[in-house]
């Protein structure tokens, strides 16, 4: 394949832009913020689940308390009714009086037991409330941490993307003047040779694979016409001869 020496040299500029774009894409993918955000996100999701569970626990305990308070109220009003009947003097039979007094006594005991239950539930409700408050605060904190990390990531993205756009424009300007057939070979080599399709010949070395050529090899490269597209025998990349190649 033949190409004007100037176009071959342009390939080195193109390579520099492409390598730069590859670096930028790599930097974009491997920002430390990605790992950080993944971790904070996992914590955040776990905390959300914990908050939901704690709120459910709080709701259940609240309902349990209402029920227990109703039980106390029922016993209290029944005892009050009995006391009223007793105080009214309407009951005169000693047996009925005795039964009534006995029931009033049982109800008082029952009310005491139920009030203990209410107290126990109130304690659990307080712990449930504390847990909801604590977990909600942690969730809010994790939201702040997440938003902050996402902000840093987006700022890094914006800076990288702006540079990608700038380098991309410069690359296009060069790519537009390189002949299509040379571009095709270069692009193919970039795919198969780890992103480097064209390398400079410098101080007897291929700068693509760092192979040092023997004098004989160097002489045969020298013997090639300037518009011949030379390929490195070791890595098969396009070997570009420049003014400082020493050939
Ligand atoms: Zn090479």
CA of 213 to the centre of ligand 1 (A): 10
What is the pTM assigned to this prediction?
0.77
CA of 164 to the centre of ligand 1 (A): 28
Burial of 110 (0-12, 13-18, 19+ CB in 10 A): middle
CA of 29 to the centre of ligand 1 (A): 28
CA of 25 to the centre of ligand 1 (A): 25
Greatest pairwise CA separation for the chain in angstroms: 137
Buried b (16+ CB within 10 A) or exposed e, 158-193: eebeeebeebbeebeebbeebeeebbebbeebbeeb
CA of 170 to the centre of ligand 1 (A): 26
Structure token pair of residue 72: 């106390």
CA of 198 to the centre of ligand 1 (A): 9
CA of 126 to the centre of ligand 1 (A): 74
- What would the pLDDT profile of 118-138 be if each residue is shown by its tens digit? 999 999 999 999 999 999 999
3-class SS at 71? Answer: helix
CA of 19 to the centre of ligand 1 (A): 16
Residue 157's pLDDT is what? 98
CA of 237 to the centre of ligand 1 (A): 6
CA of 169 to the centre of ligand 1 (A): 28
Residue 246's pLDDT is what? 74
Residue 39's pLDDT is what? 96
Q: 205: Cβ–Cβ under 8 A, 6 or more apart, which residues?
A: 211, 212, 213
CA of 234 to the centre of ligand 1 (A): 5
CA of 199 to the centre of ligand 1 (A): 7
- What would the pLDDT profile of 86-129 be if each residue is shown by its tens digit? 999 999 999 999 999 999 999 999 999 999 999 999 999 999 99
CA of 239 to the centre of ligand 1 (A): 7
- Which stretches of the chain drop beneath a pLDDT of 70? none
CA of 229 to the centre of ligand 1 (A): 14
Structure token pair of residue 39: 């971790």
């Amino acid at each position: 394949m033949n190409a004007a020496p100037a176009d071959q040299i342009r390939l080195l500029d193109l390579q520099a832009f492409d390598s730069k774009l590859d670096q930028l894409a790599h930097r974009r993918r491997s920002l430390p913020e990605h790992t950080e955000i993944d971790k904070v996100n996992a914590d955040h999701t776990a905390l959300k689940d914990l908050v939901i569970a704690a709120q459910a626990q709080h709701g259940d305990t609240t309902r349990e308390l209402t029920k227990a308070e109703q039980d106390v109220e029922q016993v209290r009003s029944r005892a009050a009714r009995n006391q009223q009947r007793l105080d009214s003097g309407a009951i005169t039979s000693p047996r009925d009086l005795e039964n009534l007094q006995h029931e009033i006594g049982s109800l008082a005991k029952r009310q005491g037991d139920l009030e203990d239950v209410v107290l126990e539930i109130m304690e659990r409700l307080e712990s449930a409330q504390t847990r909801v408050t604590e977990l909600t605060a942690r969730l809010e904190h994790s939201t702040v941490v997440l938003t902050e990390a996402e902000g840093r990531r987006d700022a890094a993205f914006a800076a990288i993307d702006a540079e990608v756009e700038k380098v991309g424009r410069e690359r296009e300007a060069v790519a537009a003047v390189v002949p299509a057939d040379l571009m095709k070979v270069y692009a193919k080599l970039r795919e198969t040779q780890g992103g480097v399709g064209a390398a400079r010949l410098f101080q007897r070395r291929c700068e693509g694979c760092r192979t040092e050529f023997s004098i004989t090899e160097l002489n045969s490269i020298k013997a090639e016409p300037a518009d011949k597209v030379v390929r490195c025998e070791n890595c098969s990349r396009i070997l570009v001869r420049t003014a400082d190649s020493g050939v």
